[in-house]
Structure 1
């Protein structure tokens, strides 16, 4: 189960504890003066909820407690970012010591607000070299303006699943590597059914389709969302125009947005047995590493493979890149046991054996250089394709912002209008989008 699908509702236990507060309170001040060798109980809040994932988390805690018998960890799962943030604003003894989040978009808020402690002093004190431990892309999305307030706790990489049987039927020898190849292959794989419907499309480019959020596709161009001052610059980014043009061309090559959108509305739920890729309605599909395990569990009736998503023709040397995101972990600013909390964070994020076991257990991409090279990792070649995407120096994550993921939602809404042909002047529309993002950023600072 991909982690972004975890429910965002708070548990009844947290509500009963009086931690679902509205507005901002005066948080208690934490402390890094504790002795991590003394007996202590840490509260760890995380978002994993399915039985297999919760078991993997609890197994991780058991391993940690064996190494640190003086530290007990009380874990609470299925906790949303909203609940964590409310608890950290309130502070007090009921707030967590260690926190994790599936939403890298919010790291800018965590760091800028100081709700998550800067981890650089802890790394310096214990000799952890973050640049030698974690890939740069992961460090980028766990920090903001010099504050490393989080560390990566497994990653998600996005690639392209493709139907090998459909390729063979269409006489296609290998996955496309550039966008021009992508359009040709998508058109060749598309099979019509009547005048305005399909038996199968090569690639569904519409942004509302499953994982096709525009920011994930846009990553193949390597865009710069913000300037040095933090102001949105999508209207001044030449790659933005190339991205929308390519998306439009992909749609046109397969019959146009309207026909594709009607076909998309016939698809089953993404996480069900009626998934459009699983049922053969889509031959190429953008998705994360978890999909392979789900295809195996569903006993897909066709042969399938994984490759990186194609890149723009003028950036052919970046082929192998992809969109990167993942879970992050940090220390609550209000914790009075920050040195002990650091021991848990360091174990979960940087202990090679732990990272490998956790990655294998929940089928996510390991987040350290050492774990990526471990012979104990799942040897499935389709799974390992995502390791290469993560390691690719051109792979991109969304840049942190103090407005959290608001700018991503704004981009999504704008992109829906663009693909439907409701934006007459793209540059003018992008200028308004930049203004909206900047206004949201300013409001988040007030």
Structure 2
């Protein structure tokens, strides 16, 4: 199977911050509290890890930051923060007041961090500094904060989940096309595992990814995980069915290798790129594939599965609105410089450069016109965002939701990997425990 290619190897916010009190802010703590001491000529920027590694991100970002300095005279001190640390770092900075000037946040955290009050609200005056609200795609703006409030951030990279598949592994198994429904995925997976491989990869130790997958499955089962008034509703029949369906890829169908129960960020992508796994559900991973020597003709992409029919709204939702937002700490001593930097990063030129590098879709409408974003793989992402993706709940407790339900899913995968039964009752019990950890329960 191996081919000759080279592979490189704040109610809620305050409560969570106490959990993460042992996490230090490191060098980033000299940002908002200290960046005004040089006449506004320095900014501190926490960038989220988008590429295959921290070093890969630095290679993408540093030339652009140098360009910004050449244009404005403002130096940007870059720190790329791993996803495993990012939320902890932000929460600690929120409660201490010692954060960067500008930072990236997962768009699902917008409302949680907004509730803490540490981020600059993007009112009409602030948006005017970067060309106006209308420059951005509506679905991306929908994940920037609680409804009815000024956004806590602006969109930087837009993403959606899709199904990526290994063309050669499909060919060897005699499979002509990727699955479009979950029943087809299970049937396809069984044909693949009959050939001795692993059908699909998951990251059972990745709490955020767990949430993304079960939230979408929840929508397909008619569940939202929260009531209309914002209360946790983790034990509804639809929520339980969603979590069980996801874990059953390992527990019941045996399509996932047991080791995936402990996988953290990007480990499933590495397996895919090394021909160990035939399929993976992920957000725009093409840059990671390329970094490991996998060429675009070796993998295909299709919309993520739905229960039946074709992707769309309602029970045919097949992705959350994924992406990265850019925020400004409210107590920055260089607000003008921070706004100029956000304006630079969301300019058409930078949007094209950065989103090409990461294989993501620009949330700026005019930048999407570039032919680079009309490739077959990105067309799937664009269409998913436009027709069948919905944002995760934009509520202050969203980050706790990711932590407690993501952990419940992790524990269920651990049960499956150890051969312990995963039943409707055991899933409901884990979700009940998670719900009890939410505020106001």
Q: Same fold (TM over 0.5)?
A: yes
Q: Give 1:311's match in structure 2, choosing from 289, 306, 313.
A: 306
2:52 paired with 1:58:
no
Alignment of 1:232-243 (within 5 A): 232-236=232-236, 238-243=237-242
State how far apart, in whole Å, the 2-side matches of 1:66 and 1:225 are: 48
**CA 1:242–1:359 in 2, change beyond 3 Å: closer, same or farther?**
same
1:4 corresponds to which residue? none
Aligned length: 397
2:290 paired with 1:296:
yes
Query: Per-residue CA shift, 1:322-361, capped at 9, x if unaligned?
Result: 2443322122211244344223223313x11111111223
1:22 corresponds to which residue? none
- Scaled by the length of structure 1, what TM-score is found? 0.73
1:81–1:101 Cα contact (<8 Å) kept: no
**Where in structure 2 are there 5+ consecutive unaligned residues?**
1-7, 9-21
Alignment of 1:256-335 (within 5 A): 260-262=256-258, 264=260, 275-290=270-285, 292-300=286-294, 303-313=298-308, 316-317=311-312, 321-335=318-332
Report the 3-state secondary structure (helix = DSSP H, G, I; strand = E; otherwise coil) of the residue aligned with 1:47.
strand
**CA 1:12–1:408 in 2, change beyond 3 Å: closer, same or farther?**
closer
Report the 3-state secondary structure (helix = DSSP H, G, I; strand = E; otherwise coil) of the residue aligned with 1:162.
strand
Report the 3-state secondary structure (helix = DSSP H, G, I; strand = E; otherwise coil) of the residue aligned with 1:234.
coil
2:198 paired with 1:201:
yes
Residues 152-161 or 336-345, more deviating: 336-345
Query: Per-residue CA shift, 1:206-232, capped at 9, x if unaligned?
Result: 845899625325425535232232211
**CA 1:252–1:413 in 2, change beyond 3 Å: closer, same or farther?**
closer
Query: Per-residue CA shift, 1:168-210, capped at 9, x if unaligned?
Result: 2333221111112112111222226xxxxxx213224684589
2:409 paired with 1:388:
no
State how far apart, in whole Å, the 2-side matches of 1:211 and 1:125 are: 33
Report the 3-state secondary structure (helix = DSSP H, G, I; strand = E; otherwise coil) of the residue aligned with 1:107.
helix
Q: Give 2:135's match in structure 1, choosing from 111, 133, 136.
A: 133
**CA 1:208–1:10 in 2, change beyond 3 Å: closer, same or farther?**
closer
2:207–2:410 Cα contact (<8 Å) kept: no
Residues 145-154 or 247-256, more deviating: 247-256
1:219–1:397 Cα contact (<8 Å) kept: no
State how far apart, in whole Å, the 2-side matches of 1:210 and 1:282 are: 21
1:205–1:251 Cα contact (<8 Å) kept: no
State how far apart, in whole Å, the 2-side matches of 1:286 and 1:184 are: 16
Alignment of 1:95-110 (within 5 A): 96-97=100-101, 99-110=102-113
2:346 paired with 1:342:
no
Q: Give 1:73's match in structure 2, choosing from 60, 63, 75.
A: 75
State how far apart, in whole Å, the 2-side matches of 1:435 and 1:429 are: 10
2:152 paired with 1:158:
no
1:133–1:368 Cα contact (<8 Å) kept: yes
2:217–2:243 Cα contact (<8 Å) kept: no
1:151–1:329 Cα contact (<8 Å) kept: yes
Report the structure, 1 or 2, having the larger helix content.
2
**CA 1:368–1:263 in 2, change beyond 3 Å: closer, same or farther?**
same
1:116 Cα deviation from its structure 2 partner: 0.5
**Where in structure 1 are there 5+ consecutive unaligned residues?**
2-7, 20-26, 32-38, 193-198
Residues 117-126 or 166-175, more deviating: 117-126
2:248 paired with 1:246:
no
